[in-house]
Amino acid sequence: MWDYSEKVKEHFFNPKNAGAVEGSNAAGEIGSISCGDALRLTLKVDPESEVILDAGFQTFGCGSAIASSSALTEIIKGMSIDQALKVSNQDIADYLDGLPPEKMHCSVMGREALQAAVADYRGEVWRDDHEEGALICKCFAIDAVMIEDTVRANGLRTVEEVVNYTKAGGSCGTCHEGIEEILITVLAEQGEVFEAAPIQPTAKQTVVIPQKPQGKTNLQRIREIEKVIEMVRPQIQADHGDVELVDVVENTVFINMTGACSGCQMASMTLSGIQQLLIQELGEFLKVIPASKAGALAQVEEC
Amino acid sequence: MSDIYLDNNATTMVDPEIVNEMLPFFSQQFGNPSSMHSFGNQVGRAIKKARQQVQMLIGAQFDSEIVFTSCGTESNSTAILSALKAQPNRKEIITTTVEHPAVLTLCEYLEKDGYTIHRLAVDGRGQIDLDEYRGLLSDKIAIVSVMWANNETGTLFPVEDMARMAHDAGIMFHTDAVQAVGKVPINLAESSIDMLSLSGHKLHAPKGIGVLYLKRGTRFRPLLRGGHQERGRRAGTENAASIVALGKAAEFAMQHMDYENSAVRAMRDRLEQGILAVVSNAFITGNPEDRLPNTANIAFEYIEGEAILMLLNKAGIAASSGSACTSGSLEPSHVMRAMGIPYTAAHGTIRFSLSRYNTMEEIERVIEAVPPVIEQLRKLSPYWENGAPVEDPEKAFAPTYA
């Protein structure tokens, strides 16, 4: 069973604004090719102020499709259509306290239905601006079409390059077979043969630094990292330990573990748990290292 | 009221009596059956007994034809890869479009390595065309691999006839029988089936134990090589406790074969009849005349399976669905697509799979619970209006697919 948030369940079991709006003057009908779900969104827009007075949905789809539709209608009611057009699929997912990566397309479907409904209101024809493919990287929700396009546009040749350009495969690495298959196909189109990167000798530590999400300053990143650490602190404090952020250099997060944690056998497991959470929350690859070992690491990077 | 489990084609409860049989093999008779000391001196004997119990259930001529593996998937891979390895000049495989992924995904992988895969199509009731099959039999075929019973619809394939036809053409035959074993009588001694896969957790033994039946004289190349276990046909220390459990489960399955085909069948039939009498725009998928006694697969049109399952789960009922959204891959059931079930119905297919632990009282509760769930979701559906499908549904709602 999917790991749905309470908010998703709430909107599924008791959906808001179900059914067509009476006296509506805009409608958008959109289906998701990746799963076959479909949605009709109807709006009642005030012609004077262009404010969305009422919104209703009819959905042929799964739990998260129904919840996303319900969330969308709640978000946009009372907005002007210009404001509503700024609602992203991430906003819908955030409103629901997140969706499983495989289900993000449900929120995309919601956003597209909204665009289609607005286009209908304005007498325009809505055009799809993206193509969805099979989900390859579940950690960062990146699909095959996105990877293929990036490989073609940038002439990528290795899995490492794909990780750097798209983030796909940058966390758990279990999708590397799928990424290799895409490389084999795309390179074959160009009459080239994919060659796997040779296995690296252990002495030289190669750290792959994926692209940082655009537009985030280092300070913003540190604030987000602090937030995540604050999230896990109560749990660690319950075990009579504590954790503090010392520094952030590039993609390395230095932290101090104190109290019962220092010298604890479980400390490294806790560290990797924090790392996993940071990667998930910030959407970029981060390495968590105890500040006490920072000196040792500096040496590694030098050689 | 306790929850109702109707997902026995996915996996089954381990019979408490079987758990008791297993326990001594964890902490008392934990020795390696290959060892000389007394910590394992009864293990070998227990495994021998289990082998005979399985032999009885599937009517094998010799107990040495039973090879214990880790699961049905391992048995399937072993069988198909063995046939290819043993006959390097034969580079084609015949299977069907509706096999379990344990066979289909392996075949797709082999295709990349240059093997040719023939996938037999099915009709609207999930049946294959034996003339098409006959036409494909040639000396290029290394193995035919066809499931005995379909896991989603329970529809049976005539594997005994198909095995005879394969043998007449000099071709090896394998069947994935994980859903059929214990539910339909099987007599392998009198069949032309060379290899058969079965899985413990489908018949009230634990997960992690399976069997590959290997008819004496069948050319074989092991998948796992190493120690001499299973007469060198499957290396690796025996999973003794689970083997003992599977033996006991096989014995119980023998005893309950008639019950499965009478009482369980009656519950399944009542479930279908009870639901279809009340819910409109719903139908049974597969071939109702020739299928497993425990499986009911009902398509509820114009709504989606995962949503149905979530509401059923809230009502304390466990079932499964062929909808795209319940699988990690987001692909709708390949079985429903192969049968040509329209999208608006395939999406809403629900499989109820029963076991001998279900009761008629539970079935009546499910019959009560299902109609309101369907009604609730249809109220949200763009294909539904005032208690009936909208007129000309495909035209009335035609979304842009992006």
Query: What are the DSSP calls for A136-174, one per residue?
Result: EETTTTEEHHHHHHHHHHHT--SHHHHHHHH-TTSSS-T
Q: Does residue B269 surpass a pLDDT of 80?
A: yes
In a domain, A130, yes or no: no
Mutate to test the interface with A, among B310, B311, B341, B395 (most CBs of A within 10 A): B310
pLDDT exceeds 50 at position A302? no
Does residue A271 sit within a domain? yes
Which of A12, A39, A102 comes nearest B330 by C-beta? Answer: A102
Chain A contact residues (CB < 8 Å to B): 1-2, 9, 12-13, 15, 18-19, 29-40, 57-66, 102-103, 105, 109, 112, 116, 126, 128, 130, 132, 134-135
* pLDDT tens string B110-146: 999 999 999 999 999 999 999 999 999 999 999 999 9
Is the pLDDT at B328 greater than 60? The verdict is no
How far apart are alpha carbons A192 and A156 in whole angstroms? Answer: 12
Q: What is the pLDDT of residue A12?
A: 96
pLDDT at A171: 84
Beta bridge partners of A59: A39
- Domain-embedded: residue A241: yes
Rounded to the nearest 10 degrees, how much is the dihedral formed by the CA atoms of A9, A4, A96, A73? -50
pLDDT digits (tens, 9 = 90+) for A183-234: 999 999 989 999 988 887 776 555 555 555 567 788 888 998 999 888 888 8
The torsion angles phi and psi of B379, rounded to 5 degrees, stand at -60, -25
pLDDT tens digits, one per residue of A257-275: 877 666 565 666 678 888 8
CATH number of B256-383: 3.90.1150.10
The mean pLDDT value for A279-292 works out to 84
Which whole number is the average pLDDT over B322-344? 79
Torsion angle (degrees, nearest 10) of CA B327, B331, B337, B343: 100
Tell me, yes or no, whether A199 lies in a domain: no
What is the arithmetic mean of pLDDT over B166-184? 97
Query: For the sheet containing A26-31, what is the strand order?
Result: A52-60, A38-45, A26-31, B400-401
| Within a domain: A235 | yes
Cβ of A33 within 8 Å of Cβ of B401? The answer is: yes
In angstroms, how far is CA B354 from the centroid of its own chain?
13
Interface probe with B: pick from A11, A62, A137, most Cβ of B within 10 Å: A62
Domain that holds residue A295: 218-302
| Residue B234 DSSP class | S
Closest in A32, A38, A116 to B382, CB measured:
A38
Residue B195 binned pLDDT confidence (cut-offs 50, 70, 90): very high
Please state the domain extents for chain B: 16-253, 256-383
Catalytic annotation, residues of A: 35, 106
Interchain pair A59, B398: CB under 8 A? no
Mention every residue, 6+ apart, whose C-beta is less than 8 A from residue B53. B246, B247, B248, B250, B251
Residues A67 and A108 in one domain: yes
Report the mean per-residue pLDDT for chain A: 85
Query: A203 is written with which tokens?
Result: 């002495």
Residue A269 resides in a domain? yes
User: Is B387 at the interface with chain A, CB within 8 A?
Assistant: no
Q: Which pLDDT score is estimated for A142?
A: 87
B196 part of contact set with chain A, CB < 8 Å: no
- Model pLDDT, residue A263: 58
CA–CA separation, A29 and A203 (whole Å) = 57
Confidence (pLDDT) at A258: 78
Q: Mean pLDDT lowest for which of A6-10, B188-192, B391-395?
A: B391-395
pLDDT tens string B273-306: 999 999 999 999 999 999 999 999 999 999 999 9
Residue A38 sits in the same domain as residue A97: yes
Burial of A22 (0-12, 13-18, 19+ CB in 10 A): exposed
Q: Do B332 and A135 touch (CB under 8 A)?
A: no
For residue B330, pLDDT over 80 is answered with no
A111 shares its domain with A146: no
Clarify whether residues A229 and A297 are in a common domain.
Answer: yes
Mean pLDDT taken over chain B: 95
| Tokens found for residue B347 | 């999406």
From the CA of B238, how many Å to the nearest CA of chain A? 30
Q: Do A31 and B380 touch (CB under 8 A)?
A: no
Determine whether domain B16-253 maps to CATH 2.130.10.10: no
Q: How far is CA B226 from CA A217, B222, B237, B333, in A?
A: 56, 10, 10, 38
How many domains are contained in chain A?
Answer: 3
Q: What is the pTM of this model?
A: 0.81
A31·B329 Cβ contact <8 A? no
Catalytic residues of B: 325
- Under 8 Å between Cβ of B235 and B222: yes
CB A31 within 8 A of CB B399: yes
Is pLDDT of A303 > 50? no
Q: CATH number of the domain that A237 lies in?
A: 3.30.300.130
- Are B326 and A62 within 8 A, CB to CB? yes
Cβ–Cβ under 8 Å, residues A99 and A105: no
- Point out the residue among B305, B381, B402 whose CB comes nearest to the CB of A58: B381
Based on its alpha-carbon atoms, the radius of gyration of chain A, rounded to whole angstroms, reads 23
Identify the closest residue of chain B to A12 by CA–CA distance.
B307
Chosen domain end from A99, A121, A143: A121
Q: Which has the closest alpha carbon to B345: B312, B391, B297, B380?
A: B297
- Please tell me whether residues A11 and A61 are part of one structural domain: yes
pLDDT at A129 > cutoff 80: no
Q: What pLDDT sits at residue B134?
A: 98
Mean pLDDT over residues B375-380, rounded?
A: 95
Which domain CATH number covers A27? 3.90.1010.10
- B354 three-class SS: coil
B400 contacts in A (CB within 8 Å)? 29-31, 116, 126, 128
Are B398 and A29 within 8 A, CB to CB? yes
pLDDT score of A265: 58
A13 pLDDT above the threshold of 70? yes
pLDDT at position B355 over 90? yes
Distance between B301 CA and the closest CA of chain A, angstroms: 10
Q: What is the pLDDT of residue B158?
A: 98
CA nearest B400: which of A23, A53, A115? Answer: A115
Measured distance CA(B355)–CA(B350) in Å, rounded:
17
Percent of chain B having pLDDT more than 90?
A: 87
Higher pLDDT, B5 or A190: B5
Residue A202 lies in a domain: no
Flag if A61 and B307 touch (Cβ within 8 Å): yes
Model confidence at B54: pLDDT above 70: yes
pLDDT score of A213:
55
Per the listing, tokens 């290394």 go with: B142
The pLDDT tens digits of the residues spanning A158-187 come to 999 999 888 899 888 899 999 999 999 999
Count of alpha carbons within 13 Å of B258, Cβ hemisphere only? Answer: 1
Q: Please report the pLDDT score of residue A291 as a whole number.
A: 80
User: What is the per-residue pLDDT across B56-114, written as a single tens digit (0 to 9) for each?
Assistant: 999 999 999 999 999 999 999 999 999 999 999 999 999 999 999 999 999 999 999 99
Question: Is A12–B382 a contact, with Cβ atoms under 8 angstroms apart?
Answer: no
Tell me whether residue A198 is in a domain.
no
